[in-house]
Chain A
Amino acid sequence: MAEKVNAVVVGAGAAGGIVAKELAEAGLRVLLLDRGPHWTQMDAVHDELMGGELGIPGSVSRLTPEARKKNPRAFRYDEDSPVRVGAIGFNAFAVGGGTIFYGAAAWRSHQHHFHMRSNFGQPEGTSLDDWPITYDDLEPFYEKAEYDLGISGGAEQDPFGPPRKKPYPLPPLPINPQGELFKKTAEKMGLHPFPPPFAITTAYYQDRPACIRCPFCIGHICEVNAKSSTTVTVIPTALETGNCTLKNGCFSDRIVTDNLGNVTGVTYFDEEDRHHFQEADLVIVSANAAESARLLLNSWNRFFPNGLANSSGQMGRNIMSHIGANSFGIFEQEIPHDWGPGPSIAINDFIGGLGGAHIYNFYVHHPIRFSRLRPPGAPRWGKAHKEFQRKYFRRFMQLNSDVQDMPQETNRVELDPNIRDHWGVPAVRITHKFHPLDHEHSEFIASRQREILEEAGAIKVWSRERRRGGVGDHQVGTCRMGNDPKTSVLNRYCQSHDIDNLFVIDGSCFVSNPGHNPSLTIQAIAYWACAYLKREWKGGAFQGKV
C-alpha cells in the first residue's frame, strides 16, 4: 500500500493542476491523479482530422475506440425523452483537462455575474441564485491566475470590463484581417471593440516562447507550449517542488470514509486495472461537473445514502453549459483567415442583463469543418455544395458568443441505473434541456451578430440552429456553493458543508454560468480556495471550518 499523503487531488485539469501546485508549494505531500493520457507538445499534430476537435475516435484530442467502450455515458433531454448511450462527450480526457486542447479564452467574469438573483430575480423554472462570493473577493486571485499561468490581453481598451488592479502580464495577440473588418464595423455601429484575453503567450514568458499564430489552436495541443495549459505551467512547477507525484491513466472510482464519516482517501484503478487505496488527510475532487458529481454519488455510504456529502440533495443538480450563439457571413471579397488563433476582436457591449455575452470573431476554420457550415436549406453535398466550398472558403466569417443557460434543478447528473463502465462503476446519466429563456437570450445575441455581419457587408448571413439541450464543454454546476448547507453542497471556499476534509475545487461549484468561457473563473476560484486551505490547514486531518 502506498504511503499516506496530505492531499490527493482527483483530476489534473484546469483547477486540479493549480491545487497540486499551491499545496505542494506550501509543503503538503500531494498525489495528483488523472485518468487520461499525458500529452505533450511532441504529440501536437497540424492536421484537422487527427489533431483537432472533429471528434474522430483516436484523434489526439479524443478517446480511442477502446477508451470509448470503457467509458460510456448516458444522456437524455428530460425525463420523458429516451436515454441515448454514447461515450464521454465533448470533454477532454487527458492530463491538463480542457486546458490542453481549448481555444484558451481567458475571461474574468463581471461583477453582476455573481449576483444574478439579486439583480434579475429567479425566473420561473430556474434555480438562479447569488454566489456566496463576489467579484471583489476573487479579483486578487484572477490576477494571480493571470500572472501564474501567462494570460495576454488588452483590458484597458474594454469600457465594460470589470475593475482590475494590474494590467495583463502580456500584451494582446495581434489583430488579423477578420478582426480588422469586425473592428471597423463595430466602431461604425457605435460599439466598443477590443482585443480579447487568452491563456496564450505573446512574448517569452516563464521559459515558454510566444505563440507562432498557427491556425491549429482550438482543439489542438500547442506544439510550442504557448498555450498556457496547466500541463506546461503549474503542473511542472508542482512536480519540481518534490512534494507532488502525478499518476495518469488512473481512474478514481470511490472516496473512502471511516466509521465517523470523515474522508480517509480514495481508491483508484491503474492502467493495468489493479485497484489501489490511497490514504490522505484531504481529498480534493477536481474532475469537473459531471465526473466530480459521479465520483461523489458513487461514494455513497450509510451516512450519505444519496451520495457522499449530499445532505442537501443538490449534488449533481443544476448542471449548466452554454447554449451559445453563432452567426456566419459570406462576402464578395476575400477575408483571409490563415493565422491563428483566430479571435482577435471582441465586444462586451451586450454582456449585461440576464443573458448577456461577449461577441468575438471565431477561430480559423479548416476544410472539413467548413464543409458542414452552410446556410439553412443549402445542399449538403453535390455540385452546388462543392462550388460553395471553393468560392467561399476564403470569404467567410463567424461570430461566436457563449450565452449561458439558466440553472435548473431538473438539469442534473445521476448514476445511470443500467449502464456500467469497464470498471463496474455506474456511468453518468445527464439530463439536460435548455430553458425557454435560454433560447430567447441566444436569439437576442444572434440577432446582434447578424446585424454586425450585415453592416460589415456580408452578402448572406445566417445563424446556427440552437440545440435542444446537452452539456459538453463549458460545463459547470453539480455541487453549487452557498452559505446555506440545506440548499448548497459546498461553502464559499469549495469545502463540503458536510465533511471538513473534502473539497470540490473545479467548475462544479458554480451557481450560475457567466456569458463568458468559464475557465479563468474556475482557475481563480482554485487559487482562492487554496488560499483558504493553506491558511487553515494545521497538518493531519483538516480541522478548520468557515
Chain B
Amino acid sequence: MKIMRRDFFRTVLVGLGSMGLLGTGGRIYALTQARENTGKLAPGCNFFNVFQARTLEAICEQIVPPDGEYPGGRGVLYYIDNALTKWLAHNRWDYLAGLEGVNESTRLMFGKNFVDLEWDQQTRVLEEMERGKAPGQVWTRLSIGPERENSSRNFFNLVLSHTMQGYYGHPKYGGNRDKVSWKMIGYILQN
C-alpha cells in the first residue's frame, strides 16, 4: 500500500476490507482512530482501495446518471481520488468514514452493500442520506462536517459537491474525460 505523506497523527490499522471481524462498536472505534487507509489500491487510484472505489463509483453514477450519448459520473472516482491526495486532503477521513457509513446504511435498509443494490434502491439510500435520515451508527456517532445529529447529509453534500467538480471541471484534474460534459452543455470557448 502506498504510504501517504502524513504528519504527526498515530496510525492504527483499520480492517475496512474485513468488516466481518469487527462488531459495530469495534468498527466505529477503529474509524475514530483511522488516519490511513488499508487494503489493496484500486487500479488507477492512489488512495481508495478496491471496495471503496467500487462503492464511490456507484454513488457518482447515481449523482450524474448516464443518459443517451452522455456518460454517467462513475469516472469522477478518479477526480476525487486525485483530489484527496492534494487539495482535498483534509477530506480523506470523511471519505473513509462516509463510505463505511453508506454501506452500513444499505445493509440496514436492504441487507446488502451499496454496489449490490438495484438502481432504484441505491437512489433511495442516497435520498435518505440527503435528508439526513440514513440509518446507522456511523452517522450518529461520527461527525463528518459541521456538528449535526445525523451526518449522512454532510457526507452526501460533500460527495455531491466533489462529483460536480469532477464531472464539469477541467479534464486535467481526473474527471470529464475528453471534455464530454463541456460538449454536452455547449461550454464552447473551452473546446
Contact = CB atoms under 8 A, between A and B. Distances in A.
Given A338-B188, A394-B185, A48 B164 contact: no
Contact of B184 (A338, A380, A390): A390
Interface in B133-191: 146-147, 160, 163-165, 168-170, 173, 181-182, 184-189
21 contacts: A47-B170, A48-B170, A50-B170, A56-B87, A56-B88, A56-B165, A82-B147, A338-B188, A366-B187, A368-B165, A368-B168, A380-B160, A381-B62, A382-B63, A382-B123, A383-B67, A386-B70, A389-B184, A390-B184, A393-B185, A394-B186
A501 B67 CA distance: 67
A84 B146 contact: yes
Interface residues of A, number: 31
B25 interface: no
B177 to A, nearest CB: 15
Given A372-B164, A380-B160, A393-B186, A49 B173 contact: yes
Interface stretch (A57-65, A195-203, A250-258, A276-284): A57-65
A252 to B, nearest CB: 27
Interface in A371-406: 371-372, 380-383, 385-387, 389-390, 393-394
Given A56-B87, A394-B186, A371 B164 contact: yes
Interface of B: 62-65, 67, 70, 86-90, 123, 126, 130, 146-147, 160, 163-165, 168-170, 173, 181-182, 184-189
Main secondary structure of the interface of B (DSSP, over half): helix
A319 B170 CA distance: 38
Contacts of A367: 168-169, 181-182, 185, 187
Contacts of A48: 169-170
Q: Which of A54, A381, A386, A394 has the most CB of B within 10 A?
A: A381
A386 B62 CA distance: 11
A50 B160 CA distance: 18
B12 to A, nearest CB: 23
A48 B168 CA distance: 9
A215 B64 contact: no
B189 A215 contact: yes
A370 B184 CA distance: 14
B181 to A, nearest CB: 7
Nearest to B126: A381
Q: Which of B86, B89, B126, B186 has the most CB of A within 10 A?
A: B186
A57 B87 CA distance: 6
Given A383-B67, A390-B184, A49 B165 contact: yes
A333 to B, nearest CB: 13
Nearest to B168: A367
B146 A390 contact: no
Q: Which of B62, B86, B164 has the most CB of A within 10 A?
A: B164
Nearest to A85: B146
A368 B170 CA distance: 10
A386 B67 contact: yes
B164 A59 contact: no
A365 B104 CA distance: 38
A383 B65 contact: yes
A196 to B, nearest CB: 23
Contacts of B160: 380-381
Contacts of B65: 382-383, 386
Contacts of B64: 381, 385-386
B170 to A, nearest CB: 5
A367 B169 CA distance: 7
B184 A368 contact: no
Nearest to A386: B64
Contacts of B169: 47-49, 367-368
Contacts of A394: 185-186
A394 B146 CA distance: 35
Nearest to A383: B65
Contact of A368 (B63, B123, B126, B164): B164
B90 A57 contact: yes
Contacts of B187: 366-367, 393
A57 B90 CA distance: 10
Contacts of B63: 381-382
A389 B62 contact: no
B142 to A, nearest CB: 18
